Structure 1
């Protein structure tokens, strides 16, 4: 199979696996509660990504080995870890500017003058699949964070920027390769959105994030700095799955 087709197949595989994993997480919780809406909460979605990330890392590793390369080589540091971490934190600041603008711009298109009041309903669904017990929520949250944070960023960066963008870019115009990989990256995040409007916002905003990450990888010629950025952002977004139930158990907030 030509490598461009392999790259396309890898992108599609990731997207389908994410869809199936989040659907399975919702179905399991809904079977117990009977009232949950799709998609599940971010914590359950993060937990469901464990098998997806493992499969994607294995597939990417096999594709790379067929070329005489390794998965580890994608993340090799250049100039030392301190330098790469510094670049990673810089890129968080750089990527967040267009990301936030994309969120605000999409919300403005969808809700016009009610943009800021709409945030309360667009990004929160009280009927989303959840774990009722704070104790179970804390336990699952810890598992989700410990599996999601170290695996998701390397898996996504290996698939989207490390393998697919590189191989599509060898056969297609660079802008098209970056755009396609970024669009699929944005589409997968629709399955983590709490409402239909949020799905639109997520797709647009994460596509913009993907374009920025893709351009950074092209400019720097390496994957590790944006992967570090991705890990830090994943830690920030997934940590409430541990913090909130812990505060509930401590009686600081009401369940």
Structure 2
């Protein structure tokens, strides 16, 4: 059993998507960021950087005590290694998947996150910051678009943790001031992943965990309640 400490953010969605795709049994402990639950001692003992998501694996491969993992990229890598899924077995494919996951963790996530903050959470508008992070988000969309021009997924022909990591950060494209019409290869990839039943199931959890969350339109697909 995987215990998932989760809130309804892009980084949280990465892990629910993986768990649904892999069919791993898991249970969610919500960590309400609005209430400051990420600072509670029990959570800090699992995730010392006070950020979701985090997991505790009750059955690690070494057969020893439960293992805690924090940071979304590290969790995806850990789960891929544990299950043997969504990480290509060959050296080159594996390297492609890992490097594009790190690209998301180091670039797309932080820049889109700052974009969101200055557009929707800052106490007052700062035009320079909005323009800067909107432009950088657009540049990163362009990087994805170019990468996907001649391949189905970020690591090539196989759906991987690189795709799972990046998709949730594209979901709020409208709130980040972007238009997917400008990025046809990214649009094709985005639509294909959005049609995956496991992705629909992952996003359907939002209504259960955080009913008041603002979920962008077009995320849920037919069959969200199927397993």
Same fold (TM over 0.5): no
Which structure carries more strand by proportion?
Answer: 2
TM-score by length of 1: 0.26
TM-score by length of 2: 0.28
Task: Specify which structure has the bigger relative contact order, considering alpha-carbon pairs within 8 angstroms and separated by 6 or more residues.
Answer: 1
